[in-house]
Amino acid sequence: MILELKNLTKMYDDKNGVASFNLAVERGEFITLLGPSGCGKTTTLNLIGGFLQADSGEILMEGKDISSLPPEARKVSTVFQNYALFPHLNVLENVAYGIRFFRKYSKKKALLAAEEFVHLVGLSGYEKSNIGNLSGGQQQRVALARSIATGAELLLLDEPLSNLDVALRTHLRKELKEIQRKTKTTMIYVTHDQEEGLSLSDRIVVMDKGLIVQIGSPREIYYKPVNSYVADFVGKSNFLEDEKGNQYILRPEDVNIIEKPGGKYIIEQMVFLGHRTEYILRNGEEKVEVHLQGIRGKDFNLGDSVDIEILFKSKLNNG
């Protein structure tokens, strides 16, 4: 157990902040805090990093309470949302900064040691580059190298990919995972992008308004959401109720459309997105969203009468 948060609470006012946060993180785990803007993700990270003082609760690192230590004394390192790279230092100097102060190397030795990490993130050749001249992706890698170089056992990452375009984001996601695998660093990752959370994490902590709603593996979260909030947040959902009043969620991609003239559903809306086509079917009051993948989506037109086939649905626990 590298990190344990016990009943951690920090409220800015009545409504905003984080309350009764409990989480145990194993060494080498990749944990994602997932939730909408304002739910308290950054607050949690800042509490762990030491930039904020908790109102109550404990932060145990390897069993020791570090709540009262200043940031510079915690074996934790943060990759900030916009990287917070030092604009007056070059790539190598940025990476060396943490080695120098965190690991207490001389300036010279720190610069030497930094080279390895610049190499690790694939930026060899850019050592002397000015931060301002790097692309967003490169900056992100420098930030990562800088944090990893400190040798901190726990890395906190605050939406490190949120300012990049989709293609780069997907690419860097893979790289990040790769680096984690190589360095075996424990990581706590913050995002509001469910794809990022689902694809990267060992476990996901879904948050809402400062509280933890669900903790689980990606598949657990996606297929066994504890309530409709989680279900909605990690993907699109149709909600069904059976005769007994049980509620189910039905993912649009787990439904098939079956060609059936005179079927009870009518195609009301159709949006072509290339890799998939999104349909909205209507049966009186009932509306079902269905996503057909690829060429399969080509077969139907607005106004067609069709039927549906449900491939999978999952029962919700809440009312």
Ligand X SMILES: Nc1ncnc2c1ncn2[C@@H]1O[C@H](COP(=O)(O)OP(=O)(O)OP(=O)(O)O)[C@@H](O)[C@H]1O
Alpha helices (H) along the chain = 41-49, 91-102, 107-120, 136-149, 166-183, 194-200, 218-223, 228-234
Member of 30, 192, 249, 300 binding a second copy (CB under 8 A) = 192
Can you say whether the dihedral through the CA atoms of 68, 69, 71, 77 is positive or negative?
Answer: negative
Helix, strand and coil in the chain, % to nearest 5 = 30, 35, 35
Q: Which of 22, 36, 68, 86 binds another protein (CB under 8 A)?
A: 86
For ligand X, the binding residue among 5, 8, 17, 169 (CB under 6 A) is 17
When asked if residue 136 is in the footprint of another protein (CB under 8 A), the reply is no
Binding mask 36-75 for another protein (x = CB under 8 A): ------x------xxxxx----------------xxxx--
Q: How do 76-79 and 247-250 pair as beta strands? A: unpaired
CB count, 10 Å around CB of 132? 8
Q: Which of residues 82-121 bind a second copy (CB under 8 A)?
A: none
If the CB atoms of residues 65 and 165 are measured against ligand X, the closer one turns out to be 165
CB 269 within 8 A of CB 277: no
Q: How far apart are CA 50 and CA 56, in angstroms?
A: 14
Check binding of 273 to a second copy (CB under 8 A). yes
User: Tokens representing 312?
Assistant: 């999978």
Could you say which residues in the range 290-309 bind a second copy, by CB under 8 A?
291, 293-296, 298
Locate 125 and state its tokens: 């050749």
What string marks each residue from 25 to 44 as x (binds ligand X by CB under 6 A) or -?
----------x-xxxxxxx-
Partner interacting with residue 70 (select from another protein, a second copy, ligand X, none; CB below 5-8 Å by kind) = another protein
Tell me the window of 130-138, 191-199, 221-229, 311-319 that interacts with another protein (CB under 8 A).
130-138
Q: Which of 138, 99, 92, 131 is nearest to 115 (CA)?
A: 92
| Interface pattern 185-204 for ligand X (x via CB under 6 A) | -------x------------
Contact footprint for a second copy (CB under 8 A): 37, 165-166, 174, 192-195, 198-199, 218-219, 222-223, 234-236, 251-254, 271-276, 291, 293-296, 298, 311-312
